């Protein structure tokens, strides 16, 4: 069965590490929905957040193959119910007197923000769970989206612990 899941990866903050990760995806035939990378609490590491749809096998393989990379320090699946996820999107839509009120009220309802405004277009910034952004984009489509971009998900687990300090057991595997 195909599920969506989010995986957080701590990697050495070094030149070329992202290439090592993405090259592995190509080589092993993993199809990634979204990927973000950025700084972390520690200057030594970058954090990559990967969204992937697939079955349990794909998930296990992705995690195992990531863990094999020398520059990968930690790989964890982000538990859906125990985490916060955010994504940001910038959406440029047409602006004219017939639609303006509608668009602005949608911006209000979705707690988005207008960050650029001209006679012919406006640019909207929206942050939230991917599902909320999806819904907003759907709603905006009839108003003609000129251009848009999304950052992909970043996610943190709730509570005081950090992923880096989490204990991961690898050693015995059972399946059938």
Partner 1 sequence: MKMTGAEIIINTLIEQGTTDVFGYPGGQVINIYDALYKNKDRINHILTAHEQGAAHAADGYSRATGKVGVCIATSGPGATNLVTGIATAMLDSIPMVAITGNVPCSLIGKDSFQEIDITGITLPITKHNYFVNRIEDLADSIREAFQIAKSGRPGPVLVDVPKDVQVAVYDFEPQGVVEKIPLPKTDEDSIDEAVALINESKRPYIYIGGGAAGLGMGKEIIEFAKKIDACIGCTFMGLSAVPDDCDKFLGMQGMHGHYASSMAQKHADLIIGVGVRFSDRATGNTKKFAKGTKIIQLDPDFAEINKNINVDLGIVADVKDAFLRIAEKAEKSQKPEWVAQVEELKAKEEEIAKKAELLAKDRMTPKQIFDVINANKLPRTIITTDVGQHQMWAAQYSKFDTTRRFVSSGGLGTMGFGLGAAIGARIATGDPTVLITGDGSFGMNLNELATAVSYNVPLVIIIANNGVLGMVRQWQNLFFQKRFSNTILERKTDFVKLAEAFGAVGMRATNIDEFESAFKKAVTINGPVVIDTYIDKDEFVLPMLPPGGSIDDIIVKVGGEENE
Residues 102-141 touching partner 1, rule: CB under 8 A, are none
Kindly write down the DSSP assignment for every residue of 14-76, as one continuous string: -TTHHHHHHHHHHHHT--EEEEEEEE-SSTTEEEEEEEEEE-HHHHHHHHHHHHHSTTEEEEE
CB under 8 A: which stretch of 56-64, 97-105, 113-121, 122-130 binds partner 1? 56-64
What is the distance between the alpha carbons of residues 101 and 63, in angstroms, rounded to a whole number?
47
We find the least distance from the C-beta atom of residue 130 to partner 1, in angstroms, to be 29
Quick one: CA torsion of 125, 127, 133, 139, rounded to 10 degrees?
Answer: -40
Q: Under the criterion CB under 8 A, does residue 173 sit at the interface with partner 1?
A: yes
Each residue 76-105 as x (binds partner 1 by CB under 8 A) or -, in order, gives ------------------------------
As measured in angstroms, the least distance from the Cβ of 44 to partner 1 is 16
Residue 4 as a binder of partner 1 (CB under 8 A): the answer is no
Q: Determine if 67 is a binding residue for partner 1 (CB under 8 A).
A: yes
Told to check if 159 binds partner 1 by CB under 8 A, we report no
**Calpha distance 13→30 (Å, rounded):** 23
Output the smallest distance, CB 91 to partner 1, in A.
36
Nearer to partner 1, 59 or 86 (CB): 59
Candidates 18, 43, 21; CA nearest to 30 is 21
Cβ atoms of 72 and 64 within 8 Å: the answer is no
Q: How far is CA 79 from the centre of its chain?
A: 14
39/154 Cα distance (integer angstroms) = 12
Binding range to partner 1, per CB under 8 A, among 4-12, 68-76, 92-100, 102-110: 68-76
Draw the binding track, 11-50, toward partner 1 (x: CB under 8 A; -: no contact). Answer: -----x--xx--xx--x-----------------------
Tell me which residues touch partner 1 (CB under 8 A). 16, 19-20, 23-24, 27, 57, 60-61, 64-65, 67-70, 170-176
């Amino acid at each position: 069965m195909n599920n969506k899941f989010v995986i957080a990866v701590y990697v050495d903050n070094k030149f070329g590490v992202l290439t090592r990760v993405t090259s592995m995806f190509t080589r092993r035939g993993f199809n990634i929905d979204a990927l973000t990378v950025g700084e972390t609490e520690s200057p030594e590491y970058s954090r990559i957040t990967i969204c992937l749809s697939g079955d349990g096998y794909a998930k296990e393989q992705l995690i195992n193959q990531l863990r094999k990379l020398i520059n990968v320090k930690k790989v964890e699946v982000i538990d859906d119910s125990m985490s916060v996820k955010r994504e940001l999107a910038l959406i440029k839509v047409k602006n004219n007197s017939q639609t303006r009120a509608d668009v602005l009220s949608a911006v209000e309802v979705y707690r988005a923000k207008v960050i650029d405004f001209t006679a012919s277009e406006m640019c909207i910034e929206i942050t939230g769970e991917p599902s909320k952004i999806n819904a907003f984009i759907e709603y905006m489509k009839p108003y003609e989206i000129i251009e848009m971009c999304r950052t992909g998900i970043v996610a943190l687990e709730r509570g005081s612990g950090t992923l880096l300090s989490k204990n991961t057991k690898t050693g015995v595997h059972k399946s059938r």
